Structure 1
Amino acid sequence: MSGDQAAGVRVEVLGPLRLVVDGRVVDVRGPKRRAVLALLALAEGRTVPVDTLVDALWPSEVPESGRQALHSHVSRLRGHLGSAAARLETEPDGYRLVLEGDALDVARARALLAAARSRGRQDPAGALAVLREARALWRGPVLSDLTDVLPIAAAVEECTRLLREVTDALIGSAIAAGKAEEVLGLAAASLADDPLREPAVLLLVRALAATGRAPEALRTARGYRQRLAEETGLDPSPELDQLEREVAGGAAGPVPGPRVSVRPATRLIGRDAEVAALHRRLESERLVTLVGPGGVGKTRVAVEVARRSGTTATLLLAPVTDPAAVPHALAAALGLEVVRGDVLAACVAVLGDRPGLLVVDNCEHLLDAVRDAVDAVLSACPRVAVLATSREPLGLAAECVVRLAPLPLPDGDRDLARVPSVAVFLDRADRVRPGPPPTPDELRTVADIVHRLDGMPLAIELAAGRLSTFSLTDLRSRLTRSLDLLGGGRPSGDARHRTLRATVEWSYQLLSEDERRLFRQLSVFVDGVDLGTAERLAADLDLGSDPGSVLARLVDASMVEADIAEGGARYRMLDTLRAFGLDRLAAAGEREAATDRMQRWAVELAAWFAATTLTDREPEADAVLRREVANLRAAWRSARSRGALDDAIAMVLGLYDAVTYRDLVELRSWAEELAADPALTGHPREAAVLGTAGEAAYHRGDLPTAVRLARAGLDRATDAIGTGYCLLPLSVVALARGAYAEAAEHALAAAALRARPGELLGIAALALAYAGDADRARSLNDRGLAEAVSPSMRAFGAYVTGEIETSVGRRDRAEPHYVRAIDLARTAGATFVVGIASVGLLPARADAGRVREALVGYREVVDYFARTGNWTHQWTTLRNLADLLRRLGDEQPADLLDAASDRAPDAAARSTPPRPATVEVPDRAAVLEVARLAIERNLTRA
């Protein structure tokens, strides 16, 4: 190749046609000349015959001067190529443009896609990086001004197909690399582009499930089924069926939030008939309650029914002690984030009219609250069935009660190993002390043991666990003697529970003193503990043995269950054993000391959370907090009932970041509950508590209460810390009301006190930006970002940057900052920042001409805020949607959304004067329906 040919030339067709020579963009004018360049480039080094070019340029009738005009265009193109003119070669029958391998963007995109696919599943993160590079090659609509040229139109279709392949591969690689959150919007937009394309549906469902949004994933799949049936009369492929089952069972993504694992540790033996009977019952009954004494195996049978069912959610109530927390526990079981509003109503809305089974386990200690929740589900969700387990019925009219009997007992000596009660003993014994199959004499000994235990599964497991210490014969003699001493006898009816209690007592007495002490202390933790907490408890008890060994022996004796997961082991007690432990704790006179230790643990955890959320370890702190919500709830209720004011204050203030940035609405209610306690009056931390409660009120949209609490706190503040806590809610309320000078004043005053300076400088920057002082806003936000270490604070700073750019009319520059804010906040669980940044992002996408992507985003955000009840931000979302609808010519819904938001008392102040109201405003549910219908209508038009 000559020196001229070696000059750098690049042709880009994945967007408006662009010619780059030696790094400089060359303006190629005229549609015919641009078409010639595009056709030569798309040939990728092949000769394009003159006749082909002429027919493409003049498809109807070739003018007499057509060939001469073509020659003129080619000549001028050589002039555009400058030093690389020799690359455009004249052949005997046509022309050829010689380009290097990656000098044509569409060829490079294909090469990158092939390279990513070759990495396969071995390196999804590497493949993801390659695919991001490939997708970035698309700069906009492909050759949009040249699609009237038939060969170019065909090439545009091919480029569209290639973009689809790159996008699908990118989404799949992100999911495989554990970065599904980063491609949720892309997956939704891909489906919106072609709502009947099943690969796009499968990817979006997988992405939603991988980010813990299983209910939304299942709704997406159901919506696709309906569209496909209505528009084509076809059914989806078996692949979608399988994926729905995986999502429903939790296999297609991580379990979100603090949901408790229900993976059975052992196989279920001797209950096939009961499981099958329950399935048959649930085909005709909406509510089936499985009742029986503790230890008879209700939970294990219910979990097996759930495992064999299709769409299920399992609500485990053993860790829940507060009736008011039942709706929150249900929300966690559904993977639902409820920031504010009626939590139970949000759960019912998610369950909706989809078919499914809801398992509610261990109801007996919360009967009234469970009855209300189940009644709400049955009333509003006609296709949902409920399987409850309890020691007594719920008492609802629709209830079908099924009593679970103990395991069948041997009758004679035939086939002893196949008798369920014997089989359970042998299975557990083999895990404790593996060995050869039992002899006939040993089987008869086992038969005698399970008879003594009346077939109670928990009692059998506890007894078999003792084979690590005793021989089978010794076990029988000691067990028989213990049961006689403890009042076992030959039980029947309620006496079976006495047999179980006697077995638990016997197993407990066989523990060493250190093991008994640790067992008792662990019983106050309603949702178990991790290894570190167990070891700290053991150290506090000054055990004479190694804490790890003591814990291991409790697991071996079946007194504690070890749930081994990726994040480490979790040690829990069955509800029956925990109740026994609490009794033993009281009998030993240790209940007060154990409760003190649990509250101290909660205070220390809250302090650790407060410190860690300010660092780059914030995602770890968020995960720990969400995992420990049930234990924190128990500690909170304990502190409140015992009047432990200092502990309650320490918990609330330590969890301030959760009140401000996370979706754990329970914690916000704790702050307001404490603020209303007369005992708080005069406490040194009173102002800080009132300020925290004010922040909680702000997040549920009650701005007057937020101001009242914060001002009361300021009146009683005795130090800079208390003052700072109160100034923060005053600043954000002023910001929402459009009092920008006041908002900046409060925020800067708080920042001067070193109370969360990064965040407060960002709030002041928002106020200045909205007031028109963008330069000073940037300066303040830069100072805040310089102090930001945690992902949520960096996310907030990125969001503020996006808002500043938006305030000066540069939404194109704002978009990447919003995206960065969302990505950072999601890694840290800072759902509030995710929400507000999403509200800012969608108008930027609409301004960039990505109307379909913006509409899909609005559909998701409207649904999210409706689900969480966060109307302050919902109104802002609806106002922005109204702006987009008005630009699309859809005036009527836009007017209604504007009028509704202008009249709403919990809406933020407008930056522009409200439009004159010309429509009657319906209730909020109708407003949301108007918004959803407008979105779908305009998506169809788009």
Structure 2
Amino acid sequence: MRFRILGTLEVRAHEDRITLASPRQQRALAALLLNANSVVPVERMIDALWEDEPPVTAAKQVRNSVSALRSRLGEAGASIVTDGPGYRLLADAEDLDALRFRRHVAAARGLAGQAKLADAVEEAGAALALWRGPALDGLRTTTLAGRAAVLDEQRAEAVELRAGWQLRLGETEEVVRTLTEFCGEHPIRELSHLLLMRALAEEGRYAEASTLFHGLRGRLADELGVDPNPELRRLHDRILAEAAPAEPAAAVPEPAPEHHFDRAVTELAEAVTWQWRAEAELRSLHRPQPIALRWSAVARPGRPVRRGDLDDIAGAFAALPLPQLVVLGEPGSGKSVLALVLTLELLRVRAPGAPVPVLLSLASWDPRREHLDRWLAGRLAENHPALLNPREYGRDAPTRLVLGGHVLPVLDGLDELPPDLRVAALDALDQTMAVGRSVVLTSRSAEYEQVRRESGPVFSGATVVRLEPVARQEALAYLAARQGTGRDRWRPVAERLGREP
């Protein structure tokens, strides 16, 4: 049985299309397919089936719809199983086009990370060929629309990824053809316009590139009240300069040989070490010693529950079969401290050729407007501008560091993103890290669990640990051990903690 949701909803068995006459059955199947292999509670099924106020018999009608759906699907109906508070549709990439799409995109990212751009372009093309229109076209209730919009965003990101790789291969004509239509469909999407402007400029079509920029700037001002991002403005300035009559210019230094790129990795490791070592000293994290933070891994079937403290976290991370870690805790439990200490310890024991841990706050990332890798590269360039020296490190060293797997992102504060961006952020992390790339993510527990409930089975390969509350006696001992002239300032805190634990 083949299910298709990248366009109108379709069900096919041996090339024969199976019709679902009832809109309620169609919506029930759509809800299950959007959350394939994950439990969809009956309450969410009700929201998907009824746009307006559901009837008092809604739960019974959901059960009837699922039963009818199983019968209509024949043998494949057995893939819809009752699971706890709801239903789960079991499917793999051969059954569902959305899963095949994600598999192709993950493979394309992996190939690009290995500098196999032509293969990456081909793999991304295979992913995009699965699309027949907007996800679940014509079948979107409010509940279904949110998850379908996430799929549409993934498609847009794949278009932009492929175009970026094609530009690096010199395939400007194909990029212009593809993105001219795409930018018409997405009139305020900045990255698409930037890539199209680059392609036009490479072909010497400066006037068209400038016209494209001015059109985008007008739409952004009218609809969002903002200017184009700095990268777009810089590109426009460069296009204007290239379009001007040429004048004699001083010789431009030759870019660095490829082997000089290794210096960029070393430079980044040293800069990050000094940055966070200074921050640890400002916070007095090691004076007289770090406060006792303990963690325990969330239990998984067949695995023993692992526990530890700050001294163990780097070793525990290094021992993970998949180097992806989620750190959860209550407000003020020490998530950011653990992220800082983990970053410094991973830097201390880092072997030659290993990725450089880079600690970043997620608060400035908008996953709907900027791809994670692009945001990471931008933050590297902003925080460590020495990497932008082409003579020392070659062109665009920050981007090459990220795409080449030389960076281990330690991303602090999923909960610091606006609530409407968190699902898209976790989904983007799942997509980008699907090929086994290393990552650490911190978040408040409640916010992370809410995102997981809304997003379905994403980022499921990561190991999750929870910070345990600091014991009162340990907090008192930590405060009492503070030395120096500022010792007395902690006394009221310690006294109140002693009275009111």
Q: Using structure 1 for the length normalisation, give the TM-score.
A: 0.25
* Bigger-Rg structure (1/2): 1
Q: Using structure 2 for the length normalisation, give the TM-score.
A: 0.46
Larger % of helix: which? 1
